[in-house]
């Protein structure tokens, strides 16, 4: 499993449109994509589950992905959630 810490950078938070974009992305990840906020972990392919987290700009999350292409999935998810960050600013977490 690959993990990455991300701070939500979408100024309006994770409302319907960015949640739907993330869900579309997650549905294409063979091993799955999840969002962890504290003890809560949700399947990122569920728009409702993502929106239920009520994430606002500045909130920290941990993205988790499994399987082939996990790193690319984390890159793409981070680009959606924190568009102002660059790849050199990311923090992959070793397991």
Q: Supply the angle between the helices 70-81 and 16-27 in degrees, to the nearest 10.
A: 170
Catalytic residue among 5, 15, 36, 85: 15
Catalytic-residue membership of 91: no
Q: How far apart are CA 23 and CA 38, in angstroms?
A: 20
Total residue count of the chain as it appears in this document? 95
Structure tokens at 71: 């790193």
Catalytic (active-site) positions: 15
């Amino acid at each position: 499993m690959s993990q990455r810490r991300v701070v939500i950078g979408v100024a309006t938070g994770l409302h319907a449109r960015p949640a739907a974009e993330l869900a579309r992305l997650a549905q294409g990840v063979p091993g799955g994509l999840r969002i962890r906020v504290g003890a809560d972990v949700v399947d990122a392919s569920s728009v409702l589950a993502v929106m239920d987290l009520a994430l606002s700009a500045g909130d920290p999350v941990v993205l988790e992905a499994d399987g082939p292409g996990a790193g690319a999935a984390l890159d793409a998810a981070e680009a959606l959630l924190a568009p102002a960050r660059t790849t050199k600013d990311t923090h992959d977490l070793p397991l």
